Structure 1
Amino acid sequence: MINSFIATLCFGLIVIQGLCEECSLSKINIGTERSGREIQGKPEWNVTVINNCSCAQSQIQLSCKGFQTAEAIDPSVLSMEGDTCTLIDGNPLQPLASVHFSYAWDPPFLLLPVHSVIADCS
């Protein structure tokens, strides 16, 4: 009985560790699509950032070199500092969760994740 409990516990830890090892910046997916609206003559773009990781990721920063918008973005969702933008004030984006924001500019910007801190999955 104790041996099967220990085996089950070890297997569970291996599975959890394996899931955490899969977490990386490549698990943060960013989708951008045109909303159909125009703001100050610029097309509006809806952005969705998804954490496709089994662990929370915080301190998510995106490359925002040259980023501009004719539409205000709530700074608690996306704050710009130089060539990087911080998502949701650096707070954790939970596993499989997403955050959304919109901006207006032409052409659309390629926003890429450049940094995150992966939470301990245990």
Structure 2
Amino acid sequence: MITDSTRRIGAGALIATGVLHLVLAPEYLGEQAYIGVLFILGGLTAAAIGARLWTRDDASAWIAGALVAVGMAVGFVLSRTVGLPGFHESEWELSGLISVVLELGVAGIAAAALRAPRHHGAVTA
């Protein structure tokens, strides 16, 4: 089991990347609508999972949070390298790099949380 502080750092990073995607969504809706929609869906999902992890250590939420975070990081890298359908950016914006750092941090903390021993049920002496 990871500490509450570590869990909250991971949850906070997931919430932060979710909020960042929601703030940037209008810009991307204007550039390529489906990218903007993905920003909204990813942002809402990340924030919701982060809120759950803020209050409890939940293996399912860690898995979902890691998948969302890694998916968003991969999407950013692909959009700057090989491009996405109808969308190819050449600039590696600071907001995107910050988001990737947060997302990879979430994935790392999720991996640690999922490897940690879990306590099920009451402990007896």
Larger Rg: 1
Greater helix fraction, Structure 1 or Structure 2: 2
Tell me the TM-score range normalised by the shorter chain. under 0.3
Greater strand fraction, Structure 1 or Structure 2: 1
